[in-house]
Amino acid sequence: MSPPGTFATTVHPFESPTPHACAYEVGLADATNALVFIGGLGDGPHTVPYPRAIAKRLEAEPELSYSVFEFRLTSSFAGFGFARLADDVADISALVKYLRSIGKQRVVLLGHSTGSQDCMEYTSPSHKLEPVEAYILQAPVADRGALAQDMGSEAALDEGLKVAKELIVSGRGHERLRPEHIAPAFRSTPISAARWYALAAADGEDNYFGPDLPDHVIKPYWSRVDKPLLILHSGNDEYVPSPVDKDALVSHWRGLCRPGIASELSGTIPGAGHRVEEPDSEKWLVKTVVEFLRSVK
């Protein structure tokens, strides 16, 4: 008998910019559609529990014909310290191309945390990527706010960013930033000056979800999304500063999208922390994701 917590997965080696790439499929063995989970900073395949809960629910909904895929990006685990969102979307596109080659008809991207930023980056016209049918953003958090909390204030964060900017300007953005210049939670991970600036600066290339960003900055991001979109903040996300009204933020983002793009199912997951590990919150998330998948054509 297998120990509790074990689960079966089908391993798919595929060609990717990341050497020796493999995707891990869970759920319906003969599914014709794919839900691709993309984790956040420090994540890799199977580090977030709820994709397996979604896969289990989808097994009970065979008419939808979805299985769940996870995979290792260049940025997975500790790789995020030097890999950019542009690297992530190249990896994602390679997986989508592979999924099409094995007959998957619909491909939906589900981004968690920084995976949500990857979904937004995937819509950028600056990349030539394999098309997908829809996007789901779960825990679309601004790293800047979370990192400022970890460092005690935005002023402390900006001191380190000043050092990072000086290195970038002098052509040394690839160099590792000294630990005292980054948030305590990240000091065990090597991070380049350029990557830290992208993550933490108000004008960093990762900052899609800053609640204080003006509309003239963010409207182009949301209005370029041309496929169905589900936005789900976590109701009790520990990485979102308490003054932020997450429901109002999601509603505002929806209003910046093209008509009919952002799903009416969008909102906040009741009682959920960042990773949605609370049982009732996970059930709500699973139900909502499955309901959204029903609408994807």
pLDDT tens per residue, range 110-167: 999 999 999 999 999 999 999 999 999 999 999 998 999 899 888 899 999 999 999 9
DSSP letters for 258-286:
PTTTB-TT-EEETT--TT--SHHHHHHHH
In DSSP terms, 23 is beta-bridged to 12, 71
Q: Using CA atoms in the order 245, 248, 254, 260, what is the torsion angle rounded to 10 degrees?
A: 140
- Dig out the tokens for 220 from the structure: 């182009």
Which of 254, 13, 228 is CA-nearest to residue 132? 228
- Dig out the tokens for 2 from the structure: 């297998």
- Dig out the tokens for 242 from the structure: 């308490």
**CA dist., res. 204 & res. 11, Å (int):** 35
**Cα Dmax for the chain:** 59
Q: Which residue ranges in the chain fall short of pLDDT 50?
A: none
Angle at 30 between CA 266 and CA 72, to 5 degrees: 60
Count of CB atoms situated within 10 Å of the CB of 130: 15
**199-223 as b/e: b if 16+ CB within 10 A:** bbbeebbbbbbbbebeeeebeebbe
Residue 288 amino acid letter: T
Residue with tokens 């779960």: 138
Q: What is the pLDDT of residue 2?
A: 64
